[in-house]
Amino acid sequence: MRLNQIRSGHFTGRSLLAVAVGATLVVALYSGGERTQPAASTSTARTSGNTAAVQTTGHGGARTWSAPNGDKASTRRVRSPIDSASVTKLRQVWSVPLRGPADRWAGSYAATPVVAGGVVYTQDLGSNVYAIDLRTGRLLWTKVYDSPSAGPNGVNVTEGKVYGATASTVFALDARTGAEVWSKKLIRNDKEGIDMAPGINNGTVYISTVPGNLNRFYAGDGVGVLWALDAATGRTKWKFDTVPTDLWGNPAVNSGGGLWYPPSFDSAGDLYLAVSNPGPFVGTPEYPWGSSRPGPNLYTNSIVKLNAKNGRVIWYNQALPHDIYDWDLQNSPIVTRAGRRPVVLGSGKMGYVYEYDQATGKLLWKTPVGRHNGHDDDNLLALRGEYSKLPKAPFTLYPGALGGIPAPMAVDDTTVYAAVNNFSVTWTSQTPPPQFPPFNEGKGELVAIDLVTGAIKWKHDFDQSPYGGTTVTNDLVFTTTLDGTVHALDTGTGQVAWQAKLPAGSNSPVAVSGDTLLAAGGWPQKAGEKAEIVAYRLGRGAPTPAPTVTPAAPPAPGAPSPR
C-alpha cells in the first residue's frame, strides 16, 4: 500500500511513494513453517542459454543517472565527484515548481529523475512530464496530462524518446519537444491502473498494470499484467500475467500482482521482476484470511526471471506465499555480484532483504530489518487454514502496510543499503481500513548489509520515516525523510556526512549526475511549503555547515538465515 493511495476513506493496499499451484499440494509444501522456503517456492524452467549472465556497471557505478534506478541493473550507484570530502560544498543552484496535485493527500511527487544529454526528465503525480536543463534549471518543456497517479511513477529515456505512463496509458514523447509520438491504453477496466516508470532494454519498453488506481485498489477483478512493447511503435511483443486472469477462481473478490518499479536486466538481456501482493487483505467477512484466494497466489510477492525474447519464466522464487498483510515484494530487483557470485537482491514491505543466485533463483540468505512483532509467519498459518492460531482483532502489526522497505535499495561492491520504515498498523477487523498512527510520528533507519553473508554491518536511526530509498556514490549513501530532509551517510560507518532541508516534505529518492544532486520536496505539509524539484551542486561558495554527527547504532541481535 502507498500513502498516495489512501484518500476519502479508501484503503487501497499500497502506498507512499507517495500491490497456480493446487491448494492441496501447496499446503503440503508449506506445512513445515520454515520461512526460507527455497525448495518449495523456487522453480527453474530454462528457456535461455544465458541464465548466468550478470549486468555490471564497472568500478564505481554508472557514469550518469540514465535510468529510474540509475542503471539497467537497478544498482542505484553512480560515479561522481561527490564524496565525504566534498559533500559539504554542495549548495542549491536551482529549483523548479512541480505542477502535480499538491493539494492531494500525500503530495505531488514520488519519482526519481533521469538525466540524458544534459537534460533532467521527470514526472509528477499528475502524470505531467518535465524537461529541465541540468546546468541552469531552465524548464525546457512540460507535457501536461493531469492524470492523477498513485505513484511512484516516473519516466525513462532512450534513443531520443521519453517513455512514461498516465494512470491508464503508456506513452512515448519526443525528448526534444515533448510532443507525443505514440500512446497505448493498457488497463482492462476501471479497477486497474498504471503507476510505475517503464523499464527499457534492447528496443523494448516494459510496463505493468496494477490492480487499482486512486479511486479504488484491490476491489476485485484487477490483474497486474507486464507488457513488452516495441519502443519505436508501441506494438505489443508479448505480455506476462503476474497473476492468473481467473484470479484463483473468484474474480469478483480477488485481485493482485503487477509492478511498482521497473524490471531489472542482466547483460544477456533477461529481465527480473518484483511482483506485488494479492488482495483482498486481510480478507473479507465471508472469506477471512485471504481464503477467497486459496494457495500461494503465484506470482505475487515473488522475484521472477523472464526470457526477454518471449516472456517465458526462467525461474521464480516466492518470498511470501499467500500474503495477508499487504507486504509487497515491490522494489526493483538488484542485479549484481556478491564476491564473485552473480546474485539478485529483493526487498519489500515485509521488512526483509533477500539474496538469490542469479542463474537458478536459489535463496542464498534473507535478513530481517526494522521492527517486527511476531507475525512474520501468519501467512503460512492462513495458507494452511490454521485460523485459530492467527491473531484476534484488534491487533497491531509491525511492519505495517506503510512499513518495511518501501522504496528501492542501492549497492556498492560489498554492501546493500536499505531505508527502513518502522511504522505500525492496527487491524480492527478483516476488512480495510485499518488504523494508522499519525504519519509524522513514523521513525526509521538506514541499514547496511554485507552482500556475501547477509550480516548487518551498521544501522542509522532516523526520527522520521525514510521513504526516499537509497542512492550510492563513492563513500556516501543518500536518502530522504518525510520531514523534507536529504541525508548523506558515510557508507563505512553510517555517520551523517551532510544534510539539507528541502522546500517541503519528501516522498521520493535522489539522483546524482556528475557534480549535481537532484532531490524533491514533493509533499507540502505545512503553510509556506511548496512542491519543487531542487538541484544541489558542488561549488566554491560557502560550504553547507556540518550537521551534528549521530553515531551509527550497532546491528540488531540475530543473524540472517543461513545459506
Mean pLDDT per 10-residue section of the chain, whose length is 563 residues? 44 36 32 33 47 45 91 98 98 94 73 98 97 98 95 97 98 99 98 98 98 93 98 99 98 98 98 98 96 98 99 99 98 98 98 99 99 98 98 96 97 99 95 86 96 99 97 99 98 98 96 98 90 93 46 39 35
- Distance between CA atoms of residues 463 and 468, nearest Å: 14
H-run or E-run covering 26: helix 23-29
Distance in angstroms (rounded) separating the CA atoms of residues 155 and 148 = 15
Location of C-alpha cell 542509522? 460
Do the Cβ atoms of 224 and 247 come closer than 8 Å?
A: no
Which conformational region is residue 524 in: left (phi greater than 0), alpha (psi within -120 to 50 degrees), or beta?
beta
Q: Which residues sit opposite 308 in a β-bridge?
A: none
With cell 534513443, the residue in question is 159
Write out pLDDT tens, residues 309-336.
999 999 999 999 999 999 999 999 999 9
- Report the alpha-carbon distance of residue 563 to residue 561 in Å, rounded: 7
CA–CA gap between residue 288 and residue 328 (Å, rounded): 19
Give residue for cell 541499514: 447
- Whether the link from the prior residue into 97 is cis, omega within 30° of 0, is no
d(CA 244, CA 310): 18
- Cα 126 off chain centre by: 19
Indicate the pairing of strand 425-427 with strand 415-422.
unpaired
Q: What Å distances lie between residue 470 and 230, 263, 424, CA to CA?
A: 31, 17, 22
- Cell numbers at 378, concatenated: 501468519
- In the Cβ-directed half-sphere of 414, how many Cα atoms lie within 13 Å? 7
Residues in the chain, how many? 563
Given a contact cutoff of 8 angstroms between Cβ atoms, the answer to whether 474 and 80 are in contact is: yes
The pTM score is 0.90
Residue type, 506: S
Rounded to whole angstroms, the Cα distance separating 255 from 223 reads: 6
Contacts of 103 (CB under 8 A, 6+ apart): none
* Rounded Cα gap, residues 473 and 78, in angstroms: 5
Q: CA 78 from chain center: how many Å? A: 18
**200 Cα distance to chain centroid:** 17
Q: Is 342:452 a contact under the CB 8 Å cutoff?
A: no
Which domains occur in the chain, in start order? 19-538 (2.140.10.10)
> CB count, 10 Å around CB of 431?
15
φ, ψ at 68 (rounded to 5°): -55, -35
Q: Is 33 exposed, middle or buried (0-12, 13-18, 19+ CB in 10 A)?
A: exposed
C-alpha cell read off for 372: 517486527
- Other Cβ atoms closer than 10 A to 95: 16
**Contact predicate 375/384, CB 8 Å:** no
Which DSSP string corresponds to 66-125? -STTSSTT---BB--S-STTTGGGEEEEEEEE--S-TTSTT-S-----EEETTEEEEE-T
DSSP H or E run through 381 = helix 378-383
Cα–Cα distance for residue pair 474/481, rounded to 1 Å: 21
Q: Are strands 313-318 and 222-223 parallel, antiparallel or unpaired?
A: unpaired
Please report which helix (H) or strand (E) contains residue 272, including its range.
strand 271-274
Closest CA to 100 of 126, 123, 122: 126
| E strand or H helix at 39 | helix 38-41
H or E element, residue 254: none
- Residues 525-552 as b/e (b if ≥16 CB within 10 A, e otherwise) read eeeebebbbbbbbbeeeeebeebeeeeb
SS3 of residue 457 by DSSP: strand
- The answer for residues whose C-beta is within 8 angstroms of residue 146's C-beta and 6 or more apart is 126, 127, 128
- The answer to whether the peptide bond before residue 282 is cis (omega within 30 degrees of 0) is yes
Distance of CA 217 to the CA centre of its chain: 18
User: What's the confidence (pLDDT) of residue 105?
Assistant: 60
265 within 8 A of 50, measured Cβ to Cβ: no
